Chains A and B, each alone.
Chain A
Amino acid sequence: MKIKSDCIVSPEGFLLNPRSGESFSLNASAMDLFSLLKTEQTEESLLLYLQEMYDVDLPTLQADLSDFLFLLRYKELLDE
């Protein structure tokens, strides 16, 4: 999976879906994931990254990642 190439994001993490005109504010961890998703990723590779970066238990990381990816899919921001 990959973030759609036409998405526009400001340096502060304000994301625009250019097809709908919807805007989203990304927090620091979402910005990290967003940067990774500029190149092809899997759920496993993203989870591995989060495990290395954050001192949080695995079920919480999995749930947070799942929510984030659900939102990206729902808003049609992912290429899969």
Chain B
Amino acid sequence: MSRQLTIAVSGLNAIDNPGPGVSVLRSLRESSFKDARLVGLCYSPLEPGVYMKDLVDVCYEMPYPSEGADVLWNRLMYIHSKDPIDVIIPNFDSELHPYIKLQSRLRTELGIRLVIPTPEQFDMRQKSSLPELGEKAHIAVPSSKNYYSIDELLMEKEKMEYPLVVKGRYYEASIVYDKEQMYSAFHKISLSWGFPIIVQKYVSGTEYNLIGVGDGRGELLSAVSMRKMFITDKGKAWSGITIDDKPLMEVARRFVAATQWMGSFELELMKSNDGEYHLLEVNPRIPAWCYLATAAGQNIPELIVKMALEQEVLPYQSYQVGKLFIRYSWDMIVDYSDFGTFSVKSELSYDHEKVNAD
């Protein structure tokens, strides 16, 4: 009898800027891999995904990505000795660096497969490199400049035309309308995320996102686009609706062709009043709203697992337009014993409960 497939998924937090992990797990539970053993990789006992027994079979606490690839390797070695993993789907940008570094070793030494971008692809879509990517892919990108110190910014303060968008290297962005707001946002974001700080021209319009998958050879295997209907104060979509706009799909095709993108990605775009799409960001992973794409007919986590297992995949051709997601928060009640077990042992298994239920 062949061993049960084991898929590990990270990003199980669900704050107002939720991680994609819960949506990825939900998509996998509704896929041809629904009987796979699903392993949650978490950073805190307060990540709600840890306690979602219908979605995960076991959860392990992970070292933070900032601790480096060696620490991650040691932890994965331990987890693999208990739960031999076949595929990992990392769901945070910050995790990709160590996983890119370990990808080949994980495959050859442990047989663990990942479908993630190459280091070159990862760097091409960095916020600080976006104008060059736009030029290469023939996609409009708002002009921007990278600043490595407040002194650089002060030298140019008189030339700046507001409003502008101040962005951190990895996360966080603020729209600023004058130089006081600019300095405040610059300081706050640089303290959190370091340098460079990206100062981008503000484009007004309507926000759209697109989730997609590239096959690593320039072909788009999946793409679902969504208009943001409700946006939180962090700029995150709290509800959205699937749409089908050919020019937007063309942007995705150009992105994948120009980068030869491997794996999942999310494009964040602003459609200006003249109808042009401006690329604001590229996230090198599955976004938190991926279950909308699943519900609309394109199960991207399933596609990623198939790619990892080198199964034949055909490009998705369509999806349902007019499907909405409306996100909500839900107070989950958790036994203190589960919280305690995960807090003390850094792992929590639901195997015994499933055996008892049987």
Contacts and interface: CB of A to CB of B under 8 A. Distances in A.
Interface string A14-47: 0010111110000000000000000000000000
Nearest to B226: A21
A58 interface: no
Contacts of B271: 20
A18 B227 CA distance: 10
A48 interface: no
Nearest to A22: B227
B206 interface: yes
Interface residues of B, number: 14
Contact of A16 (B208, B245, B246, B322): B322
Contacts of A19: 243-246
Interface string B126-149: 000000000000000000000000
B321 A18 contact: yes
A16 B206 contact: no
Interface residues of A, number: 8
B244 A20 contact: no
B278 to A, nearest CB: 15
Interface string B187-208: 0000000000000000000101
Nearest to A76: B275
> A interface, by DSSP: helix, strand, loop or mixed?
loop
B77 to A, nearest CB: 46
B322 A8 contact: yes
A8 B321 CA distance: 9
A8 B241 CA distance: 13
A6 B206 contact: no
Contacts of A20: 206, 227, 243, 245, 271
Chain B CB within 10 Å — which of A19, A21, A22 has the most? Answer: A21
B229 interface: yes
A30 to B, nearest CB: 19
Nearest to A16: B322
Contacts of A21: 206, 208, 226-227, 229, 240-241, 243
Contacts of A18: 243-245, 321-322
A8 B244 CA distance: 12
Interface string A40-80: 00000000000000000000000000000000000000000
Contacts of B226: 21
Contacts of B244: 6, 18-19
Interface in B74-118: none
Interface in B208-265: 208, 226-227, 229, 240-241, 243-246
Contacts of B245: 18-20
A17 to B, nearest CB: 8
B219 to A, nearest CB: 24
Contacts of A8: 321-322
B61 to A, nearest CB: 39
Nearest to B245: A19
A21 B241 CA distance: 6
A70 B221 CA distance: 38
A62 to B, nearest CB: 29
Given A20-B245, A21-B229, 12 more contacts: A6-B244, A8-B321, A18-B321, A19-B243, A19-B245, A19-B246, A20-B206, A20-B243, A20-B271, A21-B208, A21-B226, A21-B227
Interface of A: 6, 8, 16, 18-22
21 contacts: A6-B321, A8-B321, A8-B322, A16-B321, A18-B244, A18-B245, A18-B321, A19-B243, A19-B244, A19-B245, A20-B206, A20-B227, A20-B245, A20-B271, A21-B206, A21-B208, A21-B227, A21-B229, A21-B240, A21-B243, A22-B227
